[in-house]
Amino acid sequence: MAGHHHHHHVDPEAGDRRVIAAIGVNLALTVAQVAGGILSGSLALIADALHNFSDAVSLIIAFAARRIARRPRDMSMTFGYGRVEVVAALVNYTTLIVIGLYLLWEAGARLLDPQPVEGWLVVAIAGVALAVDLVTAALTYAMSKSSVNIRAAFLHNVADALGSVAVIVAGTLILLFGWWLVDPLVTALIAGYILWQSAREIGPVIRILMLGSPPDVDGGAVIAAMRGADGVRDVHHVHLWQMDEHRSAVDAHLVIAPGRWGEADAVKRAVKRDLAARFGIAHATLETECARHACPDVAAGGRPGPAAVPRG
């Protein structure tokens, strides 16, 4: 999630090869599952195929985003292209939600009108699907720890793996007991898991795109640290946000203490070092103001308000 700052470095080219391999096996499996679903009459198998195809598409989106994110910053994108991976994650989670809702609708229709299912074919193809899901998970697991983009694609795959297990269970119950209703019920369970997981993960992605503050950084503590710095009388107009999943930024106005204006640059450098060391904020834009001419009507968090009370 967005607050994770673990860095599991994977060579970019090696990572690309893993993603390409995962795309290939998922596309091949999708074709096999659709054919098997049509021949067996299994909605659950076709649902699993649809989700598996979304895995392949999500991996294609993730792959493209990885490539774009490596572009150096330029005058049209002065912060660089790293946030494209967050956009890709939003697209993938949104797609998962749409798929989950569609599967719920289809499961409801099939519950009202149960159809016979060829159990052996369902079990066999779902078994192959599970094997491919596990291969895909192995290819992308390490990268998913450090990339919200790859994590979204990885969760597509995890949901699909669980879906394959559920389809195998459904097919087995149909073979043993003739419980045709298990097929749409399993489809509904797959859909429910997809919706739950997507709703849980999409929030941090939206937070980044909305320029929200990092969830693992206490904004009040950041303001207190700047206010408590030697040579700083007050702080206001503070904006704290995530540039992308791993980089946070802040901009603020520092009111330099009376008699310390000659040290303003040194005070600013010291505050920047402290922010980087204590909060991992490597990008800080700080405007210095003389205590006599400080902004009179901006609160610490940047909201219009009464004049800030000087410290001390």
278 and 161 within one domain: no
In this model, does residue 2 exceed pLDDT 50? Answer: no
3-state helix, strand, coil in the chain (%, to 5): 65, 10, 25
pLDDT band at 117 (very low <50, low <70, confident <90, very high): low
Buried b (16+ CB within 10 A) or exposed e, 68-87: ebeeeeeeeeeebbbbbbbb
In this model, does residue 304 exceed pLDDT 60? Answer: no
Return the pLDDT at 6: 34
Whole-number Å distance between alpha carbons of 230 and 226: 9
Domain count, the chain: 2
Return the pLDDT at 101: 92
Per the DSSP assignment, residues forming a β-bridge with 241 are 249
Quote the percentage of the chain above a pLDDT of 90.
Answer: 22
**Within 13 A of 248's CA, how many CA atoms are on the CB side?**
26
Count the Cβ atoms, other than its own, within 10 Å of residue 160. 28
Q: Residues 36-48: pLDDT tens digits?
A: 778 877 776 677 6
How many H-runs (helices) and E-runs (strands) does the chain carry? 8, 3
Q: Residues 261-302: pLDDT tens digits?
A: 999 999 999 999 999 999 999 899 999 988 777 776 566 665
Domain hosting 270: range is 219-293
140 and 192 within one domain: yes
* Region of residue 229 (phi > 0: left; psi between -120 and 50: alpha; otherwise: beta): beta
Quote the percentage of the chain above a pLDDT of 70.
Answer: 86
In this model, does residue 137 exceed pLDDT 50? Answer: yes
For residue 300, being part of any structural domain is answered with: no
80 and 205 within one domain: yes
155 and 241 within one domain: no
Q: Residues 7-43: pLDDT tens digits?
A: 334 456 667 788 888 888 888 878 877 887 788 777 7
Whole-number Å distance between alpha carbons of 148 and 245: 7
SS3 252: strand
DSSP conformation class of 218: -
Q: Residues 201-212: pLDDT tens digits?
A: 899 999 999 989
For residue 16, being part of any structural domain is answered with: yes
In this model, does residue 252 exceed pLDDT 90? Answer: yes
Of the three residues 184, 209, 234, the one that is the final residue of a domain is 209
Whole-number Å distance between alpha carbons of 246 and 6: 8
For the chain, give the mean pLDDT.
Answer: 80
**Span 186-196, average pLDDT:** 85
Amino acid code (one letter) for 62 = A
Residue 202's CATH number? 1.20.1510.10
Residues in CB range of 192: below 8 A, 6 or more apart: 100, 104
Return the pLDDT at 216: 86
pLDDT band at 305 (very low <50, low <70, confident <90, very high): very low
